Chains A and B, each alone.
Chain A
C-alpha cells in the first residue's frame, strides 16, 4: 500500500514538473522575469530587441524565429530592472518598427506586451523621375515643424534613383527636394501611415 502511494506521489510530481511553466518553455526560477510577446498585428515580427534603459545600443535580435500574426512567444531569464524594447517587421514593401520604453521586469513576473497594426512605423520612398537632374538634398519634417531639419540624403540621388526612408511615426510631413539645377521642390502634407509605404515620384 505504502509503495502504491509512493508511486502515485512520484507520478503526480512528474506531471507537475511537465505541466509547470518551465516545462512549457517559461522559466520561473524566482530570480528572473519573463516577457510574453503577443503579435496582434497582421505582419510577421522578425526582430525583438531588448536593452536595459541605460544601454546605448539595442543589441542583437533575441527572437529565435519569426513570430507570425496571432502568435505569442515568451522571452525568459530577464534580470529584474527597467528595459526598452524594439520590434521589427519585414513587410512586402518596407521594414517597420515599434518601440516600448521603461518596461518594468520584476522577479518571478511575466509581463505581457502587445503589438498591434498601429504599433508600427511607416516608410517613405522618394524617386527621382527626371532624366538629367540630381537630387542633392531631401528634407522631411512633420508638417507643423517650423524648420526643415537635417538632410536625409546621405548621397546624391541620380535620375531614376531613389531613397527609401523607414521609421516614421504616423502623421503628415512636409518634404523638400533640393536639385543640383533649378529651384527646390516642396510638397506639403504628405501622409505616412503605420505599415504603409508612401511613394513620392518627383521630377
Chain B
C-alpha cells in the first residue's frame, strides 16, 4: 500500500488535473492564423498609426449594423470547392436557450 501511494500522487492526480483542465476544450483544438504576421516592419508602422489616430476620423469598423444584402461578387465565389459563408449575426433571444 505504501508503494502505491507515490504512484497515486505521480500518476493519478496529475491525470485527473489534466482532464479537468482540458474539460472546456475536450475533443477540439483551436488555432489562430493572423494575416500579415510575417510582415513585421510594415505592421509596426501601421500599428503606430492605428494607436495615434484622431477620434473624429471616419473609420471603418468590423460591426455590421445593417442587414444589407450583397450583390457584389465576393472573392472565392468562383471556386466551387470553397465553403465560405457569411456569418448570420446573432439576434437577441433567437434559438434554443443556452444551459451552461
Query: Does A145 sit within 8 A of B, measured CB to CB?
Result: yes
Query: Does B53 sit within 8 A of A, measured CB to CB?
Result: yes
Instruction: Classify chain A's interface size.
Output: 35 or more
Residues of A close to B33: CB separation below 8 A: 92-93, 196-197, 199
From A93, A121, A164, contact of B85 by CB (8 A): A164
Task: From known contacts A42-B42, A98-B60, infer whether A166 and B30 are also in contact, taking CB-CB under 8 Å.
Answer: no
Query: Does A77 sit within 8 A of B, measured CB to CB?
Result: no
Task: From known contacts A57-B71, A117-B46, A141-B90, infer whether A199 and B62 are also in contact, taking CB-CB under 8 Å.
Answer: no
Residues of B close to A40: CB separation below 8 A: 46, 49-50, 53
Q: How far is the CB of B90 from chain A (nearest CB, A)?
A: 4
A:52-70 near B, CB below 8 Å: 55-61, 69-70
Instruction: Classify chain B's interface size.
Output: 35 or more
A147 touches B60 (CB 8 A): no
B96 touches A196 (CB 8 A): no
Residues of B close to A61: CB separation below 8 A: 72-73
Query: Does A198 sit within 8 A of B, measured CB to CB?
Result: yes
| CA–CA, A187 and B35, complex, Å | 24
